[in-house]
Chains A and B, each alone.
Chain A
Amino acid sequence: MGYKRKKSESELEPEIENDRKKPMMRKEEKEKEILPSTIKNKEKRSEVHAKLKHQKKLEKRKKAKARDAAEKRALELGEEPPPKMVPRTIENTREFDETVCKPDDEELFAGNDADEFGAILKRERTPKVLITTCRFNSSRGPAFISELLSVIPNAHYYKRGTYDLKKIVEYANNKDFTSLIVVHTNRREPDALLIIGLPEGPTAHFKLSKLVLRKDIKNHGNPTNHKPELVLNNFTTRLGHRIGRLIQSLFPQDPNFRGRRVVTFHNQRDFIFFRHHRYIFDSKESKQTDSKGKEAKDAKGEKASQERVITRLQECGPRFTLKLTSLQHGTFDSKGGEFEWVHKPEMDTSRRRFFL
């Protein structure tokens, strides 16, 4: 019978409030502390909850208004505005990782010189990529592969047939390929990517998801044949650095900036987002005049008072996300391979711990 009493109490509350304040204040405070989840009556509970939410919303709006007003006042008065608060994000509160590459680490540089991609990245070999699939058919696989062929210069596609992957690695070595990409299919959808560095490079196994083909992107552009610029974001740890170099070894090391084509691999929370854009620089005058100069590259205009250079992007090519599941030392060897990094569930101890 508790709920009936509470109902009556809340009804009585506004009447009695005016008469006796002090003891009532205590009662009000007590009622404010009642969590909606302890009220068993659904109607009453949803009413209390809605009230609480509405109160919170009003408070938040009040605070935001006060903040804006304070900033405006400070700007008008010429003083410094109060510092902007920075929201707490998972990236901000990432656990400290001792494997993050430091900028002055000579062992890192020596390791880079000595590792398997050193030859390609020092421009001693030009990248030549072999793309193939797994043995099963898939509906979107061929379309994905044709798009990959347009993204990666000097890439060749060979049908899989029934060759063993180890044999394929041998053939590729004989024909001087520098990397091998295998698009793996599950349930008629491409869902994993194996990137094998050759001749004895590491094998990275990625999980592929959220694949969007070019025809499904609105207002997509068509890629040209210029060598693309490569943007690798946020590969901070040693493992991330190694994966970054693996991806770098797929693309030629001399990008053609005039071609205005960029391929981005952005790492966030261990997911690598792949995007392919064509870009163009515009100089945008102040908002009133609105004149757009065409092809005004690097015109970081300080001459006019309100001229800014903005980059306009047009997405072309596929869009997908990758997540690293394992990195094997040596070429693909499912039985005899030794792993440099393999994801184990016991490693996920914290929501703020990432490996790449």
Chain B
Amino acid sequence: MPRTTTLECPGCPSLRALTFDALGLIKVIEAKVSQGGAPRVVERWGELDSSKCVLAASINDRKDDPLLAVARKTGMIEVLSAINGDIRFTVSNANEDGPRPEDDAVVGLHLFAGQKLELTSRSCTLLTCTTKGNTSMRSIEVTDSPAGSASIGSSNTWSVCSSGNILCSKVDGSEKCAIFGGKGVEMNMWDLDNCTKIWAAKSPPKNSLDIFTPTWFTSSTFLSKDDHRKIVAGTNSHQVRLYDISAQRRPVISFDFRETPIKSVTEDLDGYTVYVGNGSGDLASFDMRTGKLLGCFLGKCSGSIRSIARHPELPVIASCGLDSYLRLWDIKTRQLLSAVFLKQHLTNVVFDSNFADGEVKPSVAADLPLNADQIANETEIRDEEETLPVKRKKASKEDERRKKKKATKENERNKVKEASKENNGSEKKASKENEGSKKLKSKKSKRSKCEIHDES
């Protein structure tokens, strides 16, 4: 008999991710719970041209008209709609007298979410940073002409470093500061409104053997969205460092992770966990308050992890890299939810959080018509869940029931339970009935009371 260990990949929750690869393509991957939670490539934007390799990407994830900014190797920065890939406008990052874009590649890109200036809603602000340190912040107004040209409103350009190459940059949650670091460039933080450097790091002292490792930061991020004072940076010599601006210039905590350069660092929403990916495909999560390794994500990733993205709502992270796979992981169990093969070396991944699959997230609602909608949707959800493996059903059911417990309206509770009772009656699967019976046993007494209320 073939000796195999099969790892069943549970499906992912409904989500939508966009990946960017070395041939300049943007692929949209969607996973729907209704289709078994297996993510598939639904769209592919861009032409196959390796000179248009995507170097950096940033998404402005707002509800109406989400925008996506993409920086390519040719020096062009395109802003597209995140829903259908239409190019809104293209801006060239090259200066007339500066170095050619092929020599001075774009390293960091950020599309500002908030409105910087009192302009109409058809403007957006971009921050770009190149390897030689030329950083510019432009605000661009989109005109109505069909060619999609844009007029550059105001732009600020300044140089972040005098020597060395910038390899990583990040803008913080409040969009007032940005950090830059690279080869031969210590981490430094700039204030974006005034374009001044407010803090620079100092390298740790020589170690006990008097060996001084040269500065080489390969990835960096802010530890929390609200606090711009704590920074996590990964180096080429497989070290992860935590800096605190308000404390000191040397790193507060510094620890090693495996043996290849740290290629990407991403923070979690809780403000103290970071996800670290290195050059040989190891992905791990660390608690930055203590510097302790929480665990590694095991999932046969054999290529360098270039980018990690954390979903803004669901407990899912996506990692993509040089092995051409996009992998989706569950945060709490560190289990691989699924992997999608995408054929090229991937450079970036972002999540689009406004993706709804017809699932209504149970929210505290007051109106009766809304209740009816909710019931209808929830029955749909139950039916859809039949196709998923058992593990997933139990987890999601538990979540839904917990959410229902938290809902304060009694009417809702009654109606939901009635719906669940109907469902249980109609379903034939034994597992569901068992589940139902287990969970409803504790609520039987309550339910009966509620029903009496209703009937009366």
Contact = CB atoms under 8 A, between A and B. Distances in A.
Interface in B1-49: 2-7, 22-23, 25, 48-49
B48 A238 contact: no
B281 A351 contact: no
B217 to A, nearest CB: 12
B353 interface: no
Contact of B48 (A106, A329, A347): A106
Query: In terms of DSSP, what is the predominant structure of the interface of chain B?
Result: loop
Interface centre among A98, A108, A342, A350 (most CB of B within 10 A): A342
A110 B345 contact: no
A338 B280 CA distance: 6
Nearest to A351: B3
B343 interface: yes
B5 A105 contact: no
A336 B260 CA distance: 6
A107 to B, nearest CB: 5
B281 A344 contact: yes
Given A107-B48, A238-B324, A336-B236, A344 B2 contact: no
B298 interface: yes
A114 interface: yes
A106 B216 CA distance: 38
A204 to B, nearest CB: 14
Interface residues of A, number: 31
Interface stretch (B61-69, B108-116, B300-308, B411-419): B300-308
B295 to A, nearest CB: 14
Contacts of A105: 343
Contact of B2 (A107, A341, A350): A350
B322 A338 contact: yes
B261 interface: yes
Contact of A352 (B2, B49, B298, B324): B2
Interface string B209-244: 000000010000000000000000000110000000
B279 interface: yes
B23 A339 contact: no
Nearest to A340: B322
A301 interface: no
A72 interface: no
A108 B322 CA distance: 15
Given A107-B343, A110-B48, A337-B279, A349 B304 contact: no
Interface of A: 93, 95, 98-99, 105-108, 110-111, 113-114, 238, 329, 335-344, 346-347, 349-353
Given A95-B4, A337-B279, 4 more contacts: A107-B23, A111-B343, A342-B280, A350-B4
30 contacts: A93-B2, A95-B4, A110-B49, A111-B23, A111-B343, A329-B345, A335-B237, A335-B260, A336-B236, A336-B279, A337-B260, A337-B261, A338-B261, A338-B280, A338-B322, A339-B279, A339-B280, A339-B281, A339-B304, A339-B322, A340-B304, A343-B302, A344-B281, A344-B300, A344-B302, A347-B300, A349-B5, A349-B6, A350-B3, A352-B2
